[in-house]
Amino acid sequence: MDETSAAQLTFTIHAPELLVGLSEAASALYDLNWLEQQSDQELEQLITLGRDHLARRFTLRLDDGEPVDLAAKLTFENPDAIRNGGARGLPPGCLEAFLELSAPEGTHKLRLDHARNSGKRLLLVIDRPESFPGVIDVAPGTHAVVALRGKIDEPIAPEPPGHPEQALGPGRMLALAIILTALAGITVVLSKLRKASRGKAPGS
């Protein structure tokens, strides 16, 4: 990466889980049409809950800098874009949150810490030019470090032995996509499997 570069992060959230328990959120009630039927006010409530949901589970920092204020910097799609997510291929009931981080020259890594009490697992798919995608499972209580310059990512921190979240099933996965771009044309995509492009509502 050259002087000017940025990390663009996309979080995918299964919105029903912000309102009800996991079992109920998986019911047929929350199908492809559920978000389409929500009012602007109801979608704004989901955005508020989603912002808090992510801020409580993840800590991001560039190199050894201060943690990013996720609650303040995350943006979401506008209501119309959220309602049309299914038409763009998003899984039923899913919305997306976005974050762009400036990575000036001299910034070498992005660290993501996953809260021990998250109740979710996170899968990151790292896709670099001329390389096969690599998948990282970031369990609760662990962290991942992604190289912003160069191609070597640090090994993931070991998962605490006997952690109760260790056996979480696929219904408890979160999704994260990170795209790193630069003048040099290097692109890194970290995408994350599970639910829930753009049409962001600034500051929403």
Residue from 105, 75, 124 nearest 5 by CA: 105
**High-pLDDT (> 70) share of the chain, %:** 65
Residue with tokens 């949150």: 97
Which residue ranges make up each domain of the chain? 5-201
Mean pLDDT, the chain, rounded, equals 74
pLDDT tens-place string over residues 64-123: 899 999 999 999 999 999 998 877 788 889 888 998 888 777 888 889 899 998 887 787
pLDDT digits (tens, 9 = 90+) for 136-173: 788 889 998 888 766 555 555 555 544 444 444 434 55
- Give SS3 for 61: strand
The pTM of the full predicted model, rounded to 2 decimals, is: 0.74
Give the count of beta carbons closer than 10 Å to the beta carbon of residue 161.
6
What Å distances lie between residue 22 and 30, 42, 95, 140, 168, CA to CA? 12, 19, 16, 17, 12
3-state secondary structure of 190: strand
If you count DSSP H runs as helices and E runs as strands, how many of each does the chain have, helices first? 4, 11
Neighbours of 153 (CB within 10 A): 19
Give the pLDDT of residue 2. Answer: 43
